[in-house]
Amino acid sequence: MGWNETVRNAEKLVETAMKGNDASHDAAHVWRVRDLALSLARDEGLSSNPNSMQIVELAALLHDIGDYKYMRDPSEERLVENFLEEEGIDEENKNKILGIINGMGFKDEVAGRGIGEKSLEFGVVQDADRLDAIGAIGIARCFTFGGCRNRVLHDPNIQPRSDLSKEQYMKKDEQTTVNHFHEKLLKLKDMMKTQAGRSRAERRHKFMEEFLKQFYEEWNGKA
């Protein structure tokens, strides 16, 4: 099976599997992450290795399929692995792709699973996903997700949680949308794995800081 056909099939799987998701985690998010990951990979010198670029593209395309936040059926946990097997991806590359997907979540790094030596392919895919969580797009996605879950916009009496465990992070009860900036999004700049990712994160991070400053001023009637 040709590579272009494998990519098209992966895109079809994304569109089918993520069709019911809200706009914070839809197919458009995946297309942005794929484009960012490939761009970061080129900046990091991976373009000279076609196999690495293929690993990056497939991992980026498939990274949110079976996301626990949108799980409708336990069988969705095996969608990606089944797809890779059906497409005839060799065992080594399949394991690399699954390793990237299974280890890139913020909840895993909170639990200590994201710490340690990781491949450059892992770094560019994770950085791409995190870049899409910050900046202007990140702000839009954050409020989209919060609105979808009927979360309170902001409550000064509910303080952001610090030193989160994996269980606490996954338990979103009694949290506000704005607190998510402090609990996760503002931390992502310093968690980038690649130089290219760190460079791009700077501007997006500053944009969020300016947004929050204006938000709090308006909330308190000072602007």
- Residues 31-47 have pLDDT tens digits of 999 999 999 999 999 99
Structure tokens given for 138? 């990140």
Give the range of the structural domain holding residue 151, as residue numbers without chain letter. 3-220
- Comparing 70 with 149, the larger pLDDT belongs to 149
* Mean pLDDT over each residue of the chain, to the nearest integer: 91
Distance CA 24, CA 146 (A): 9
CATH number for the domain including 50?
A: 1.10.3210.50
**Distance, first Cα to last Cα, the chain:** 59
Distance CA 119, CA 59 (A): 13
pLDDT in the model for residue 66: 84
Query: Of 139, 98, 156, nearest to 122 (Cα)?
Result: 98
Q: What is the pLDDT of residues 76-105, one digit of tens each?
A: 788 999 999 999 999 999 999 999 999 988
Q: How confident is the model at residue 68 (pLDDT cuts 50, 70, 90)?
A: confident
Range name among 75-79, 88-92, 118-122, 175-179 with the lowest pLDDT average:
75-79
- Overall pTM > 0.85: yes
Note whether 58 and 6 are within 8 A (CB). Answer: yes
Note whether 110 and 164 are within 8 A (CB). Answer: yes
Query: Of 141, 118, 119, 117, nearest to 129 (Cα)?
Result: 141
Question: How many domains are contained in the chain?
Answer: 1
The DSSP symbol for 105 reads -
- Comparing 74 with 99, the larger pLDDT belongs to 99
pLDDT in the model for residue 211: 98
Supply φ then ψ for residue 220, to 5 degrees: -90, 10
Share of the chain above pLDDT 70, in %: 88
Over residues 179-194, mean pLDDT: 96
E strand or H helix at 27: helix 27-43
